Amino acid sequence: MNLELTDAIAVLERTPGAFRALLGGLSDGWTKSNEGPDTFSAFDNVAHLIHAERTDWIPRARIILAQGANRRFQPFDRLAHVLESQNRTLAKLLDEFARLRADNLATLRGWNLSESQLALEGEHPELGNVTLRQLLAAWVAHDLGHIAQTARVMAKQYREAVGPWRAHLPVLDRA
């Protein structure tokens, strides 16, 4: 699919509700377990998405739209959420993610982006030149990747419990 703003927003606006429906009220056994050292639990996935709402997508879009002399993005810290989310509850994180996402989508809609604006470029510190259109597509795909990761890490908590069914459930052995 080519990125159309309405398609992208349709997914972006559903993500907080999908996380809430999947995780809201679940025990820590489901939400705090991970796939081993230095991997994300379901809780970590939500915390990481919150950090991205604050520091990644919309801030980078602003840099692109400003078209200033320096269009290089700040590096994104993929582990900043660990400290930020200490001593917080999943319920609070789900609320915060929903609020930040709604605010960011209001900003995005308010820009009423034109095709020529979507083609403007910024500089990713690792990936080089990227367009605003690519950034918005990456925002959507990043959401969906973290939904997939969250479901996978939860499934893996039953890797042994399923017994022989492990052979039929590839999600249990996916990296």
Name residues contacting a second copy, limited to 54-83 (CB under 8 A).
none
Q: Which stretch binds a second copy (CB under 8 A): 47-55, 86-94, 97-105, 137-145?
A: 137-145
Residue 20 binding a second copy, by CB under 8 A: yes
Nearer to a second copy, 14 or 54 (CB): 14
- Between helix 42-55 and helix 90-111 the angle, nearest 10°, is 30
Name residues contacting a second copy, limited to 148-167 (CB under 8 A).
148-149, 151-152, 154-155, 157-159, 161-165, 167
**Residues contacting a second copy: total by CB under 8 A:** 60
Name residues contacting a second copy, limited to 90-109 (CB under 8 A).
none
Nearer to a second copy, 92 or 165 (CB): 165
Please give, one letter per residue, the 3-state secondary structure of the chain: CCCCHHHHHHHHCCHHHHHHHHHCCCCHHHHCCCCCCCCCCHHHHHHHHHHHHHHCHHHHHHHHHHCCCCCECCCCCCCHHHHHCCCCCHHHHHHHHHHHHHHHHHHHHHHCCCHHHHCCEEEECCCEEEEHHHHHHHHHHHHHHHHHHHHHHHHHCCCCCCHHHHHHCHHHHCC
Residue 1 binding a second copy, by CB under 8 A: yes
Of 10, 66, 91, 102, the one binding a second copy by CB under 8 A? 10
Residues of this chain that interact with a second copy (CB under 8 A) are 1-3, 7, 10-11, 14-15, 17-18, 20-27, 29-30, 33, 124, 126-131, 133-135, 137-138, 140-142, 144-145, 147-149, 151-152, 154-155, 157-159, 161-165, 167-172, 174
